Structure 1
Amino acid sequence: MVDRTRREPDPFLDWKVRVFFAGAALLVPGVLLGYDPLVLLAIVILAGGLMLLTALGARRRRQAEAAAAEEWEEEADGQGAREV
């Protein structure tokens, strides 16, 4: 089942497209010319880009969650001080 809830825009979309086209630009000539090292380089670029961008996205989500939790705690502390 596909989750169709709205999310914030992907901050790494530009980099994902760049990595994809860099890999594709190396893969196509490698396949057409039968030059295996070029194909392997394209695979390394695509796999490395996938791992790097996934890690950066997870790091960004963790930072956003930590900031939201900190803001929530500050808001809760402020309300508690007013009630006393």
Structure 2
Amino acid sequence: MGHGLRRRCREGVLAGRILLNYAVWGNGSVSARLWNAIRSDDWAIPHVGLSSLGESVGWARPDEFPPRNMQTSKGLRALGYNVRIGV
């Protein structure tokens, strides 16, 4: 791996850690941070989407934001809870 590629990889990892820290623990509402994290020129990283970040918030802060993904939604639906799937 060339020096330039190593540097870009380190920068990418750092940018990812900063983005994740912002989405999970930043100030303000989680929904606003998630929106900024995927749509804002200041925060967005290509190929990092709402589902990944939202699920990360759920796993990091399960008491406040239970982890939800398509599989947990289907499980909740199977248990009789009225949840929307695929929204």
Could you tell me the TM-score, scaled by structure 2's length? 0.28
Rg bigger for which structure?
A: 1
Report which of the two has the higher share of helix: 1
Could you tell me the TM-score, scaled by structure 1's length? 0.29
Higher relative contact order (CA 8 A, sep 6+): 1
